[in-house]
Structure 1
Amino acid sequence: MSAPATHETKFRVRYGETDAQGIVNNSNYLSYFEVGRVEWLRAAGLSYRDLERAGYGFVVVEAHAFYKRAARFDDALVLKTSLADFGRASFWFEYEVLRDGETVATGRTRHGCIEIGTGRPSRVPEEFVARLSGSAP
């Protein structure tokens, strides 16, 4: 299974994700992005759980979110997640949140690979690199 160029996740805004004005609180977009990453990895045949069992973790070292339109309770949203770039020890994901085809927010996160036991930086595991490059069986 090779990595998807873009993975789409559909969801609805829950009431508890909104603020007093009825708008999705900006901090929730980082949670949405996390859902997108997990689903993107799953579609690529990888999982955080398996990577953690192998002794690796991917930590967010940088996050950006750009808000273009307000999302509100019960809005049906689509989150598009794609791998933007990867190197020996880190990689970037990009995100686009849409409502009815219109961009609500975009974002980007950078992740560093660490050894869970020590917390020290590590190279991205070969299996992960193989799946990202399309050379995995």
Structure 2
Amino acid sequence: MTTQNAVVSVYSFIPRFHEIDGQGVMFNMWYLSHVDEAVDAFFIDRGLPYAQWHDLGFDVHVVHVDLDFAAGVRRHERIEVLVSTSRIGGKSFTLDFAFRRDGETVCTGGIVYATVSTLGHGTIALPDPLVKALGEENSLRAGHQHV
């Protein structure tokens, strides 16, 4: 794990038996499951665990995800998922992620979250505690342009 001031958070895992498909690599849907775990660790690292969000009056909805595969993840391989803030907007933010095996990037992507009120009032401006937890913008993807 990283510290609150770090730009990148790291989550590690080894694929489980049921995550491996008939081609011998991790099935594509499991990547987003591990991204969810990595994002949870990202916010814990930054002092704003998800369990606190409801009491602060906000939550987030996923509005866009993209994945770019370079190589497959195989069973028994230790994988790191790096997460960084790539964009902080008014009502949404983007986190970039990269799956790495022994220093080799095997998958990259980004996930856009819209911030919503827990009172059912739709999207809201990013709350100050969330902006602070997101820190500075820093893309993990080569050639990624901030929007």
TM-score, normalized by length of structure 2? 0.84
Percent sequence identity over aligned pairs? 24
AA in 1 matched with 2:23 = Q
Distance (whole Å) between structure 2 residues aligned to residue 36 and residue 119 of structure 1: 28
Q: How far does residue 126 in structure 1 lie from its aligned partner after superposition?
A: 1.4
Which digits, 9 at most, give the CA deviation of each residue in 1:61-85, with x for residues without a partner?
A: 0000011101111111011110111
1:103 and 2:85 correspond: no
Q: Which has the higher contact order (CA 8 A, sep 6+)?
A: 1
Distance (whole Å) between structure 2 residues aligned to residue 28 and residue 120 of structure 1: 29
Q: How far does residue 3 in structure 1 lie from its aligned partner after superposition?
A: 4.4
| Unaligned segments of structure 1, at least 5 residues | none
Q: How far does residue 119 in structure 1 lie from its aligned partner after superposition?
A: 5.6
The answer (yes or no) to whether the contact 2:85–2:135 under 8 Å persists in 1 is: no
**1:14-25 paired onto structure 2 within 5 Å:** 14-25=16-27
SS at match of 2:53: helix
SS at match of 1:93: strand
Pick which of 54-63 and 123-132 moved more: 123-132
Q: How far does residue 9 in structure 1 lie from its aligned partner after superposition?
A: 1.1
AA in 2 matched with 1:104 = V
TM-score, normalized by length of structure 1? 0.90
The answer (yes or no) to whether the contact 1:11–1:77 under 8 Å persists in 2 is: yes
**1:56-67 paired onto structure 2 within 5 Å:** 56-67=58-69
The answer (yes or no) to whether the contact 1:4–1:40 under 8 Å persists in 2 is: no
Question: In the superposition, relative to structure 1, how do residues 100 and 130 fare at CA in structure 2: closer, same or farther (>3 Å)?
Answer: closer
Which residue is 2:145 aligned to? none
> Superposition RMSD on alpha carbons, in Å?
1.6
Q: How many residue pairs get matched?
A: 134
Which digits, 9 at most, give the CA deviation of each residue in 1:72-123, with x for residues without a partner?
A: 1111101111011111210000011011111110110000000123161111
Higher strand share: 1
**1:1-137 paired onto structure 2 within 5 Å:** 2-118=4-120, 120-133=122-135
Q: How far does residue 53 in structure 1 lie from its aligned partner after superposition?
A: 2.3
